[in-house]
């Protein structure tokens, strides 16, 4: 059971903090909590996301794959999932993987779409028909 | 504001699913939600953690550093932070970085310790004196 | 994250405490918490509003504008926004700016209407289609 | 009764948006929600604060007084009041009125201190011994 | 603001404790908390109701009127009001005043019906269209 | 289980509405919700109390007894009970029955004191050592 | 009133811990909390279920009956009842008693279906039209 | 995650419904929800307990053992565990197994005591030092 008031926190690399702030705050609608020379901290859907300034890998960039490393939010209510997807459409945020239904016909069925931030981190939003499958 | 019932989810690599389950369930006290051939899903302090089976990098393993990539829980109550630290001591879970106080004298002051899972993922537990600094 | 039980408080001028009480309690349906010689305190939709007795500016009254100074409530549920609007219609409370939809086609789209209290304070009620835009 | 999820919102003048962001985000620890050319919106202790760019009054600035117009937060728990006061001390935020106890010997007794933002808005933090006096 | 966990308590006369228990527990579906020689205590919709054994007034019984003395529950959700009314219909509990809509066309509009317990206490159930009128 | 948001409501006689408002709002610190020619409605510790104007009984007034008819609040936390008692002491509200401990040595042990409003209604505040005895 | 954070716990016999884990975790979607040589502990819909390894009764197995001994969950929302039933259908979990409506025409009307675990424990899921009948 | 408002329910045998009601309601302080000819339903610490009338086994009664079958409540707060234990002492409820600390020196350390109801059902109350061990 998650204690009321605890927060998950996740630290990820950012090649450029300006771009990270633009993506998460101005595009995705997260809230900027603090800004330092080497990192920014965000209120990302109620949890803490920290973008640490990191040297960009030399070109060509490596391939980006959803597995094994990505993060995101699993919404309890379909309306909240729809709202975030709608925001991405209206603000023309480029998607890495289009909205789709996975595992149709199984109990694990859920909707999902994936974003890619300017530092190649992948963010997945999900909604499960059966909330007990959220874990 | 985090909606009641939403969950953060994080996908991480695991070189060996048996070891991952042993570490997260039997050591750290997380709950196993589902087990598949290529991944396990966990209830990690109320959020979803998914360990994806991934080929182990060839030896020698790369250096592991806390930045830019780690995850963890920031507790609202000091007692909950203490309980998890106590569990690690009692169960002799090896720590990557010992319990310490960071940013003493600043508003951002917090306690922290870091674990390393069998697949080199780093997990940080924190507690801030001022809960508004959690973000 | 707003702590459970904390209250925002706002102090505003009132040219006449009787009129203020009439407007906020008998018209808008707020609750009178305390009455002093120089002020009244109200439970305004769960937050504290304090009307301080203040000398009325000499006629002619200055123009009243929505920016930069007004206050109000942003409802999470459209039904609550509708209920307050309905109350204003039924009780024939004069509106300063009619109910309207702002920022149509943008993520920030919301419904809004504005009241003017007897001391020229402006009160805006809002409802955002996407609750993450409430901030 | 405040509905879960509703937010109070307050619009105030700001002579300079950079200074406003510096004061509220970097000093007071509020979260930046959105930034526009003519305003910034903040998550101010869980409610919405909007700073609208406004022409600064010609010098000399008018006197600033706590009545009739100020805003702030009334904390339910003394520890939260103390934490914000501690933050102001540690970050050397100038206070407009020092921490003091008002109405000693009365039921309305409370602790209070007042800040002044760069645009002469006054912000009062309070904690009442008897939580029923919060309104 | 009602503190989580507090209970209202109401003590009322009962001419016969067996009849009181039959009415409140077996008919209305309340829960019996404790039974003493001179009273029973009930969990009445989450609050405490205590029926004190009292001598019945000599016949003829005095007239019973809704004002100034009655008690009951005001439901936040119409469905809960409907459920209690449905229970009264199905269990053929005699009503003192039939289900009706009061104050139609006003903000205070609400649905209501009134029961009479075996000791002539009147119980009103209500549901307001605008929840802010519950007080 | 009390549904979140429901309110108990209680209608009581008042010989004089001015006196009732003075007692409940200015003395006891309840909130005035609405005022009509023949009644006032109050937010009494989170529940609804309605004082109906009623003709005062001819002198001499009948004896007032705690049983079988009184009402009040049972606090979950001792601190809340203490706060209300403290308010009565500081504001010199006359008590009908002094603060005392009842049922010492039994599981039902609780603290209690009783007030009498200007219309002879008795109000009891209680706190049980064992919260399960609240019902 | 159930205190926030308390858990019911139930210890039941299991003839085979592997089968028990398969049934509760992989079939029913419960979470495995801990595994010991002689028992497993489960997060069963938010409560604790402990399966203790027990010798299987000699064949032929005794008849299994719903009364007097079974356990389960009574859902507040019909959608949650439907979701669990849907899961059983999709995963082809054998039911002991088919989904049915009981006590039609009475206030106690509810939907129900019953499962049988590999150790002959019976699990009933229910949903009452009137939530006050849940007890 | 336990949904707010769901209830666990447990059906157990009772040799005598009068004795069961006496034990659970008058001794343990549970609330009687409903009484039928063949069963009683109880609000047992917020969950539903149903005692079904069952023929008593012929003497001599079988041995009663804690494993594999018992039920109870695991309290989140030590004070609530203490309160129930205190109730048993004050009301001289016979214990089946005295209060003791189990698994000292392990993370699973908890306090516990066990009651036996008149129909040989065993009820265990527990409190874990580390709340994550509740499952």
DSSP assignment string, A87-107: HHHHTTPPEEEEEEEESTTST
In the structure encoding, which two tokens stand for residue D43, read together? 């998550």
Residue G5 pLDDT level (bands cut at 50, 70, 90): confident
Q: In the structure, what pLDDT confidence band is assigned to residue C4 with cuts at 50, 70 and 90?
A: low
Residues of chain D found within 8 Å of residue B106, distances taken between Cβ atoms: 90
Q: Which two tokens stand for residue A44?
A: 């990302």
- Percent of chain F residues topping a pLDDT of 90: 89
For the stretch D83-104, pLDDT in tens is 999 999 999 999 999 999 999 9
pLDDT tens for A20-37 read 999 999 999 999 999 999
What is the arithmetic mean of pLDDT over G18-44? 97
Q: Shortest CA distance to H73 belongs to which of H63, H81, H61?
A: H81
Reported as a pLDDT band with limits 50, 70 and 90, residue C86 is very high
CB contact under 8 A, F68 and E13: yes
Q: Residue E132: count other Cβ atoms within 10 Å of its Cβ.
A: 19
* Rounded distance between C-alpha atoms, residue G41 and residue G48, angstroms: 7
End-to-end CA, chain D? 12
The answer to whether residue E63 scores a pLDDT higher than 90 is: no
Task: Report the range of poorest mean pLDDT among A18-22, B61-65, B108-112, H93-97.
Answer: B61-65
Cross-chain Cβ contact F132/H83 below 8 Å: yes
Residue B92 contacts C where some CB pair is shorter than 8 Å: no
- What is the average pLDDT score of chain A? 94
Round to whole Å and give the CA distance between H26 and H11. 20
Q: What is the band of B3 on the pLDDT scale with cuts at 50, 70, 90?
A: low
Beta-carbon count within 10 A of D61 CB: 10
F79 in contact with chain H, both atoms CB, cutoff 8 A = no
F1 touches chain G (CB under 8 A): yes
- Please determine, for residue B28, whether its predicted confidence score (pLDDT) is greater than 70: yes
Tell me: the pLDDT tens digits for E65-114?
A: 999 999 999 999 999 999 999 999 999 999 999 999 999 999 999 999 99
Tokens of G32: 């495995």
- Give the tens place of pLDDT for each residue, H58-116: 777 777 899 999 999 999 999 999 999 999 999 999 999 999 999 999 999 999 999 99
Q: What is the pLDDT of residues C105-124, one digit of tens each?
A: 999 999 999 999 999 999 99
Instruction: Identify the band that residue C1 occupies on the pLDDT scale cut at 50, 70 and 90.
Output: very low
Q: Residue written as tokens 């040799």?
A: H15
What is the share, in percent, of chain G residues with pLDDT greater than 70?
96
Does residue B19 surpass a pLDDT of 60?
yes
Contact F5 E77 (CB under 8 A): yes
**pLDDT higher at E56 or F31:** F31
Mutate to test the interface with A, among H1, H2, H6 (most CBs of A within 10 A): H1
Spatial distance between the Cα atoms of F124 and F96, rounded to a whole number of angstroms = 9
Least confident of F79-88, F112-121, G50-59: G50-59
Of D26, D31, D35, nearest to A43 by CB-CB distance is D31
| Residue D68: CB atoms within 10 Å | 19
Adjacent-strand bridge partners of D41: D34, D50
Q: CA C72 to CA C12: how far, in whole Å?
A: 12
Q: What confidence category does residue D1 fall into, taking pLDDT thresholds of 50, 70 and 90?
A: very low
Residue G10 has pLDDT above 90, yes or no: yes
- Determine the pLDDT at residue C5: 84
Which residue is closest to H129 within chain B, CA to CA?
A: B83
**The pLDDT value given to residue F89:** 97
Beta A110-116 vs G31-35: how paired, if at all? unpaired
| Chain A residues with CB-CB distance to H76 below 8 A | none
Helix runs in G46-120, H state only: 78-90
pLDDT tens for D37-77 read 999 999 999 999 999 999 988 777 767 899 999 999 999 99
pLDDT reading at E27 higher than 50: yes
H32 shares contact with chain E (CB less than 8 Å): yes
Contacts of D46 in chain C (CB under 8 A): 1-3, 6
pLDDT confidence of A125, banded at 50, 70, 90?
very high
Task: Report whether G68 contacts H14 (CB < 8 A).
Answer: yes
Give yes or no for residue D10 having a pLDDT over 50.
yes
Residue G22 has pLDDT above 80, yes or no: yes
- From chain H, the residues in CB contact with E31 under 8 A are 31-33, 43
Q: How confident is the model at residue E19 (pLDDT cuts 50, 70, 90)?
A: very high
> Does the pLDDT of residue D26 top 60, yes or no?
yes
A133 Cβ contact list (under 8 Å, min separation 6): A107, A108, A110, G29
Helix (H) or strand (E) holding B19: helix B17-21
Backbone angles phi and psi of A89, in degrees to 5: -70, -50
- Is E8's Cβ below 8 Å from some Cβ in G? no
pLDDT of residue E1: 40
Q: Which of B62, B49, B46 is nearest to B21 (CA)?
A: B49
Interface touch G87/A106, C-beta < 8 Å: no
Question: Which residue did the predictor score with more confidence, C64 or D30?
Answer: D30
Mean pLDDT of chain E, nearest integer: 94
Q: Do B9 and A76 touch (CB under 8 A)?
A: no
Distance from CA of F102 to the nearest CA of E (A): 16
d(CA B46, CA E121): 48
Cβ <8 Å between G41 and H76: no
In angstroms, rounded to a whole number, what is the distance separating the alpha carbons of residues H53 and H37? Answer: 8
Model pLDDT, residue H64: 86
By the 8 A CB rule, do F109 and F103 touch? yes
Q: How confident is the model at residue A4 (pLDDT cuts 50, 70, 90)?
A: low
Q: What is the pLDDT of residues F56-93, one digit of tens each?
A: 887 777 678 999 999 999 999 999 999 999 999 999 99
**Eight-state DSSP code of residue D62:** P
Is there a contact between H29 and F107 (Cβ–Cβ < 8 Å)? Answer: yes
The 8 Å CB, 24+ separation contacts for B58-66 are B61/B120, B64/B96, B64/B116, B64/B120, B64/B122, B66/A11, B66/B96, B66/B97, B66/B114, B66/B122, B66/B124
Q: Please give the radius of gyration of chain G, using alpha carbons only, rounded to the nearest integer.
A: 15
Q: Looking at chain D, which residue has its C-alpha nearest residue B108? A: D87
> Is F106's pLDDT higher than 70?
yes
Does ipTM top 0.90?
yes
Of C1, C107, C132, the CB nearest to A90: C107
Task: Yes or no: say if C48 and C7 are a contact pair by the CB < 8 Å rule.
Answer: yes
pLDDT in tens, A39-56: 999 999 999 999 999 998
- Asked if B132 and D87 come within 8 Å (Cβ–Cβ), the reply is yes
Q: Name the residue facing G90 among A107, A132, A135 (closest C-beta).
A: A107
């Amino acid at each position: 059971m998650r204690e009321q008031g605890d927060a998950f926190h996740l630290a990820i690399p950012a090649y450029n903090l300006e771009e990270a702030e633009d993506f998460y705050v101005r595009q995705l609608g997260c809230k900027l909590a603090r800004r330092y020379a080497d990192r920014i901290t965000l209120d990302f859907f109620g949890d803490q996301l920290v973008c640490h300034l990191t040297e960009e890998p030399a070109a060509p960039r490596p391939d980006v794959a959803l597995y094994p490393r990505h993060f995101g939010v699993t919404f309890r209510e379909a309306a909240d999932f729809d709202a975030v997807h709608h925001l991405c459409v209206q603000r023309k945020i480029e998607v890495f993987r289009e909205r789709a239904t996975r595992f149709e016909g199984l109990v694990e069925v859920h909707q999902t779409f994936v974003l890619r931030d300017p530092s190649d981190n992948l963010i997945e939003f999900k909604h499960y028909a059966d909330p007990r499958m959220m874990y």
